[in-house]
Chain A
Amino acid sequence: MMIDPLSVFILLLGAATPILFAALGELVVERAGVLNLGVEGMMITGALAGFAAAHASGSPALGFIAAAVAGAALSMTFAALTQFLLSNQVATGLALTLFGLGLTAMFGKPYEGMKAPAMMPGPLGLNWMIWLGIALVPVVWWFLSRTRPGLILRAVGENHDAAHGLGYPVRRVRILAIGFGGALAGMGGAYISIATVLQWTEGMTAGAGWIALAIVVFAQWNPWGVLAGAWLFGGVTVLQLRLQAAGVAVPVQLLSMAPYLATIIVLVLISARQKFGRSGGGAAPASLGRPFHALK
């Protein structure tokens, strides 16, 4: 069995990219105090919209733009329900996922069996989306920790009553964050259909959105942690595929559980560290998942 480290690393970057996009987007949403469990639904919508646009135009770049628009558009349903109608964020996120999966299953039928246009290779033989994903990490970090809008966004997620008391538009900030998260989730989904699998199949995101949610927890709401988490999962995925290809004497179905089991293990480890560690209070934004309603 031969596993060449460099080729594994290159494959790892590709496998990590969808999760990196989605998790970075969700990180910004959660730092604004909103828990959107609909990442999977937005990813699958992006996967279909991106594939359809790329296929129709022949341009993968247009595909990614369409995916971002579709993901953001779908996320606005979540924004309207949770921010204006004050619905429960957990239930609404779930609904978004179920709806996205249904919607794409319905509209995706005609695209089954078609092939995606080829991606333009970027520097070092890696495509541009991989580079964009990696570049987004410092950008998000810089935005959150060094800019005034980032400061306001964190303030809204930390204590929405205080932010409102100081006159910041809690709802508007959150809606923008939700839209950004939707756009990135859409692009992450499109990466799977356009750059990895090269075609559309129903339910093709296969839990990547949920894994992205877990990565945000693993990263303790830090963009660099998201990069580490995404690479870790890219690594597990690639290794598992390599072992399959090498014909290891373990059934394929069991090997393909690896990313999900790894997610559980990592989640347990990070939660346990937070529970028993010396660090005290968690890194989670204090207003995460709590509805905000100001009497005026």
Chain B
Amino acid sequence: MSNVFRAEGLGKTYPGVRANDDVSFAVEAGEIHALLGENGAGKSTLVKMIYGLVRPDEGQMALLGAPYAPHDPRAARAAGVAMVFQHFSLFDAMTVAENVALGMENPPPQPELSRRIADLSQGYGLPLNPARRIAALSAGERQRVEILRCLLQNPRLLIMDEPTSVLTPQEAEILFATLRQLAEAGTAILYISHKLEEIRSHCDRATILRQGKVVGTVDPRAHSARELAAMMVGAEMRLVDRSGRKPAAPVLQVRGLSTAGGEGVALKEVALTLRSGEILGIGGVAGNGQEELLSALSGETPTAPGTIALEGRDLSRAGPEARRRAGLLAAPEDRLGHAAVPEFSLAENTLLTAGARQNLIRRGLIDRKAATDFAQQVIRAFDVRTPGPDTAAGALSGGNLQKFVIGREVLGRPRVLVVNQPTWGVDAGAAAAIRQALLDLAAQGAGLIVISQDLDELLELSDRFCALNQGRLSAPRPTEGLTIEEIGLMLGGAHGMEVAHVPA
């Protein structure tokens, strides 16, 4: 056996959580080995142990047949393990060459390094200018920097953590071509993902993790996506009920919405019409203006007069509170620190957005009992697992807090609800519950805008689909009948195609 890496009985316990339990598997030279599991299954703890960021409580690892127990990432790199992080570990204010140098133990002098970066990037079809600052690069280019940083070390084992979450389908294809080229040269690749299709079409073997334990190692091509999902979740996927929706009169009109950008992405002439009872899905690769769009709609960012109208009423100059009173509600992506305050109790967190609509704040005075009661109501209606309304928001798991945040807005009976990444980082059960709540809300006649980077989710929920690309929103297309390829082109910004396909 040409095992490059082998894990035997690895275990790791955090307070209250058994993150990894008796995990054993092996990665062979020249294979792309998938590590598959839903959020919270223990994938990231496992790779952190392999990369020396976390020390296992029990078990052994071996690299190239020799015992392997790195005490920090530098030791891991020295032993031949490299890793591309999901959230880039790059330094925005520094150049490509400086970033690469930081990822190497003994970098050559700058001119020599720059030359090697240029050579290698050409060789793998990943062009990069070593002198550019990271801040000026796109997400895809940033990932190239991460990959090149790894390749310059000639790693024996390359770990990729959810690498395609920031890429368009076309960019992902280029990435897989690169990975295949590397594998053929003998590098072992450990590929972490929860995207089933991607794994089925590109990986040689897959080790499936559920609740910290290995369920099995399989050939992903020999199984259907449904079977893989069942192994990952441990049960049949719950299907959502899409029935009962009849898009009616327009509720929200957005016209010529542009923002200044500043630190983020500038929105450029965004226009959309949302009907009551409809779910409009907005897809896009991370960092293309999703957060900015939500902020402009929620009222956090002021916009020009006449750009946003709810049922004919111009709300462009209204702040978040006034918009909520009018019936325009929003739930931002970041649960901790944006949609909720981690240190505050759930009861106090209701005051963030429900003060006026639930009558929790009257003439400036806070009704604590009403806030506690409303929190209790959200907890019950959305099955939020928590000791009670006095628990701090930060003490809840991601899925439970997300249910609370979405529930808080849904119970506010919005006319329009805007959500960004409603199920990001949430376990499958909670995700299904949240999606069902959104569908039910639309069935009751509200208009919904769902912004997400999860294409499957958008296809499952939305009636019409638009793509957000560098702050521009494409024209909507009915979701029915859209193919992944078409969506990929929309995300990549080939807006021309819509003109030919716009249905009457």
Q: Which residues of A contact B (CB under 8 A)?
A: 148, 151-152, 154-155, 158-159, 161-168, 280-281, 283, 285-286, 295-296
Contact = CB atoms under 8 A, between A and B. Distances in A.
B322 interface: no
Interface in B60-91: 72-77, 85, 88-91
B90 A159 contact: yes
Contact of B85 (A148, A165, A168, A283): A165
B89 A281 contact: no
29 contacts: A148-B107, A151-B98, A151-B101, A152-B102, A154-B94, A155-B91, A158-B91, A158-B92, A158-B94, A159-B89, A162-B88, A162-B89, A162-B91, A165-B73, A165-B89, A166-B73, A166-B74, A166-B102, A167-B52, A167-B73, A167-B74, A167-B75, A168-B102, A283-B93, A286-B92, A295-B14, A295-B54, A296-B53, A296-B55
Contacts of A155: 91, 94, 102
Contacts, number: 59
Contacts of B102: 151-152, 155, 163, 166, 168
Nearest to A285: B93
Contacts of A148: 101, 107
A281 B263 contact: yes
Contacts of B74: 166-168
Given A285-B93, A286-B92, 19 more contacts: A151-B102, A154-B94, A155-B91, A158-B93, A159-B89, A159-B91, A162-B90, A163-B91, A163-B102, A164-B53, A165-B85, A165-B89, A167-B52, A168-B74, A168-B102, A281-B263, A283-B93, A295-B54, A296-B54
A166 B281 CA distance: 37
Nearest to B53: A165
B103 A166 contact: yes
A281 B261 CA distance: 11
A254 B58 CA distance: 70
A151 B91 CA distance: 11
* Interface range on chain B (Cβ under 8 Å from partner): 20 to 34
Contacts of B76: 167
A167 B94 CA distance: 18
Interface in B91-119: 91-94, 98, 101-103, 107
B135 interface: yes
A169 B74 CA distance: 10
A161 B89 contact: yes
A165 B85 CA distance: 9
Given A162-B88, A165-B85, A167-B73, A286 B101 contact: no
A154 B101 CA distance: 13
**Which residue among A155, A163, A280, A286 has the maximum number of chain B CB atoms within 10 Å of its CB?**
A155
Contacts of B14: 295
Contacts of A164: 53
Contacts of A168: 74, 102
Interface string B466-497: 00000000000000000000000000000000
A164 B72 CA distance: 9
Contacts of B90: 159, 162
Q: Give the top 9 A-B pairs by smallest Cβ distance, nearest first.
A: A167-B73, A162-B89, A167-B74, A158-B91, A165-B89, A167-B72, A159-B91, A155-B102, A155-B91
B80 to A, nearest CB: 14
A279 B102 CA distance: 26
A151 B14 CA distance: 34
A165 B55 CA distance: 14
Nearest to A156: B91
Nearest to B110: A146
